[in-house]
Amino acid sequence: MSRLVRPQTLRGFRDVLPAEMSLQNELVRRIRAVYEHYGYVPLDTPVMELLPTLVGSGGEEADAQIFQLLNPEQQTVGLRFDLTVPFARIIAQYTPDPIKLPFRRYHLGPVFRADDPQPEQGRFRQFTQVDIDVAGTESIAADAEIVAVMVDAFAALDLPRGDADPPFYLRVNNRKLVDAFLAGVGIIEPERCAHVLRVLDKSDRITDRQLAEELRDGRYDRSGDFIPGVGLTGGVVDALLDFVAVTGATRAEVVTALSQRIAPSELSEAALAEATELSAHLEALGVAEESARFDPSLARGLAYYTGTVYEGTLVGGGVGSVVGGGRYDGLVSRFLDEAVPMVGASIGLDRLVTGLRNLDVDLGTGADRVQVLVLVMPGVDAAVSSGIAAQLRAEGIGAELYVGKDQGKVGRQLSYANSLGYRAAVMVGRKELDAGQVTVKDLRAGSEQRADIADREAYRQAGQTGQFSCTREQLPAAVQELLDDGDSGR
């Protein structure tokens, strides 16, 4: 019986191999630069929290998705399901010293949810979020800034624009607007309001008919299971569907149209004032109408949102939302006897990568990759090649030293370099070593020259194309010139 362990990953988990990891790193580099440009600072928290920290913060659905385990002290702990709840705990634990409010932070890290994985849509049980949040301010200017940061972050990705739509846009709403509408039609019970919001949160995933059925008596899903409805009457459902379907050429037009559908009250007055102020700030920040659109159907599923909510779409990506967030003024109150207003948003890195692949977007992530292989030649001490690699790196040129089992076999080493798409190979044979010379081979030029050659001898001779010698002192400058020539497309 074999004692070998079968190599495999858990369902819903995955290994991120170099090609995708390089893309993730490039995305994070560009996004982080935008975050820092706005004054956000980095922060991290443990992936595990005491279970009471997590339970009850995101609602019943979020609670059901928490991975739970016992630590060595026999305490029940959970893996964080987002980066927002731990941030609320941080604010409660570290203010007013050393954290001073208002406080802007960004956070990159893995989160865990025990739900049904959908790899084709970038949904896994472990996934990475890239968050920003502002703690300690009720100002709508902060809500608008989150929108501006997200729009700028996606602009930094240089995504190709389609014929009609921008490559990315945010849907924006305020939960108070929906609350004010529901109150106006007599729906004020917290649980019933929350049920309506959960149903509306499905509006981009189910048909209008299914939405109406779930707002009324309920419906059957594809598996045949019955989904209980909210129990609204037909007239209220029709009015609600009319409310959430409101659109307009501008954000201001949408707010005006909504104001005509909400019964006057103190709550509706406050909600409309926030939406109007948000619109003014977005205009002042230069956020285009097409990049951030008011959408009254947007609800967001997590229970802790209290005001402005956001959801971002990668047009044509086929992965649903790639950005989510909003205002959550009550979350810190789980830890303190006082409220600390907070607002933020999160980019789902795994969904974003999946969407970019679906769109066949190339961000040029190989630009900073090592492009030079230093060969180990037969009859020459391998330490010579180590010294050459060190010399190139000391001059700022990334170089890989070949350490495979085929050292001394030049053809196999060059095949290895070509398989990785390297631009140049550097080698020192016995004759070059005696003469104080180094040979540099332009791998791209050789490949292009041999592309259509069938004759064996002509093929071998063509392999010398782009190959030249120089002194050790001249080597860094010669290699850099070759790399620069490749980058310029000459």
Sheet holding 41-42: strands in order across? 41-42, 103-112, 126-135, 342-348, 321-327, 308-314, 168-174, 292-294
Instruction: Say how far apart CA 113 and CA 124 lie, in whole Å.
Output: 8
* Residue 357 covered by a domain: yes
What is the chain's Cα-based Rg?
Answer: 29
- Whether residue 447 is found in the same domain as residue 461: yes
Q: 18-37 and 140-155 are packed helices; what angle lies between their axes, rounded to 10 degrees? A: 140
- Whether residue 29 is found in the same domain as residue 154: yes
User: What pLDDT does 489 receive?
Assistant: 44
Q: What is the pLDDT of residues 72-106, one digit of tens each?
A: 999 999 999 999 999 999 999 999 999 999 999 99
* Residue 282 covered by a domain: yes
* Residue 304 covered by a domain: no
* Whole-number Cα distances in Å, 160 to 21, 25, 351, 360: 22, 20, 18, 10
449 versus 223: which is more confidently predicted? 223
User: What pLDDT does 248 receive?
Assistant: 94
* Banded pLDDT at 308 (limits 50, 70, 90): very high
Pair 109, 129: CB distance under 8 Å: yes
Q: What is the pTM of this model?
A: 0.88
Q: What is the pLDDT of residues 475-484, one digit of tens each?
A: 999 999 999 8
* Residue 306 covered by a domain: no
56: left (phi over 0), alpha (psi -120 to 50) or beta: left
User: What pLDDT does 223 receive?
Assistant: 87
* Residue 308 covered by a domain: no
Number of structural domains found in the chain? 3
Supply the range of the domain harboring residue 55. 12-163+315-368
- Whether residue 86 is found in the same domain as residue 183: no
Instruction: Say how far apart CA 135 and CA 152 lie, in whole Å.
Output: 21
- Whether residue 325 is found in the same domain as residue 222: no
- Whether residue 92 is found in the same domain as residue 145: yes
CATH classification at residue 274? 3.30.930.10
Domain boundary residue, one of 298, 324, 341: 298
- Whether residue 35 is found in the same domain as residue 134: yes
Q: What is the pLDDT of residues 348-363, one digit of tens each?
A: 999 999 999 999 888 7
Please report which helix (H) or strand (E) contains residue 31, including its range.
helix 18-37
- Whether residue 174 is found in the same domain as residue 129: no
Q: What is the pLDDT of residues 269-301, one digit of tens each?
A: 999 999 999 999 999 999 999 999 999 989 886
